[in-house]
A and B are shown apart, each in its own frame.
Chain A
Amino acid sequence: QVQLVQSGAEVKKPGASVKVSCKASGYSFSTYVLSWVRQAPGQGLEWMGWISVYNDNTIYAQRFQGRVTMTTDTSTRTAYMELRSLRSDDTAVYYCARLYGDSEGDWFDPWGQGTLVTVSS
């Protein structure tokens, strides 16, 4: 079945970087866009951006531009999201999600299980 499996929880100090991975299976990896969405504790979903696996084109949410990099490795069917200069308010669960669509609209399906990133001194 179509599945996204993410890397494990991370604990980082303020100012450090974190790189979260998302391994895809069950579908043609290069055909789709992969997005990253985060959720701070007790808060809602926040879209961070996405990457086209086909041509590596990226769109980042404005608030993360300059601090985030999304990449893919087609040989291992894995997407990566690196966030730099971490602050305490970056503490959140980070999800990857495949952008799926038809002739009308797009939506996210499936989602990875989430990776908790804790930023603490």
Chain B
Amino acid sequence: QSVLTQPPSVSAAPGQKVTISCSGSSSNIGNNYVSWYQQLPGTAPKVLIYDNNKRPSGIPDRFSGSKSGTSATLDITGLQTGDEADYYCGTWDSSLSAWVFGGGTKLTVL
């Protein structure tokens, strides 16, 4: 059972928008910055979003992140079949003194 809660799966049609949520508590998301990772099938994770809403160079602006209170959200617009992947949120948990990940969300582009 993950400290951060994500929906197991989301789906949408190409070109549409999808939102992936990540729910935590005051000891993690509420007081620390959130990052998001994309894991394409058979590959290592890659950072998509850091510091709640910043994109590394090379990440298209179709990907955006936000945080409010103890929850974070990843939005993906203009969905492409190449976006099919598992997505993970992560942050530091000050009570556990440990980095925590969400359980992951599998995105299917129908």
Contacts and interface: CB of A to CB of B under 8 A. Distances in A.
B30 to A, nearest CB: 13
B88 A45 contact: yes
Contact of B101 (A47, A50, A59, A106): A47
Tier of interface size on chain A: 20 to 34
Contact of B51 (A46, A97, A105, A108): A105
A105 B2 contact: no
Contacts of A97: 45
A59 B96 CA distance: 11
Contacts of B97: 59
Contacts of B98: 47, 59, 61-62
Interface in B31-54: 32-35, 37, 44-47, 50-52
Given A35-B99, A45-B104, A47-B99, A111 B46 contact: yes
Given A102-B51, A105-B32, A108-B37, A44 B88 contact: yes
Contacts of B45: 37, 45, 95, 97, 108, 111
A107 B50 contact: yes
B90 interface: yes
21 contacts: A37-B101, A44-B2, A44-B102, A45-B101, A47-B99, A50-B99, A62-B96, A62-B98, A95-B45, A104-B33, A105-B32, A105-B35, A105-B51, A105-B91, A106-B35, A107-B50, A107-B51, A109-B50, A111-B44, A111-B46, A114-B44
Given A45-B88, A45-B90, A46-B101, 5 more contacts: A44-B101, A45-B101, A105-B52, A107-B50, A109-B46
Top 8 closest A-B pairs, CB basis? A105-B33, A107-B35, A107-B50, A47-B99, A111-B44, A44-B104, A45-B101, A109-B47
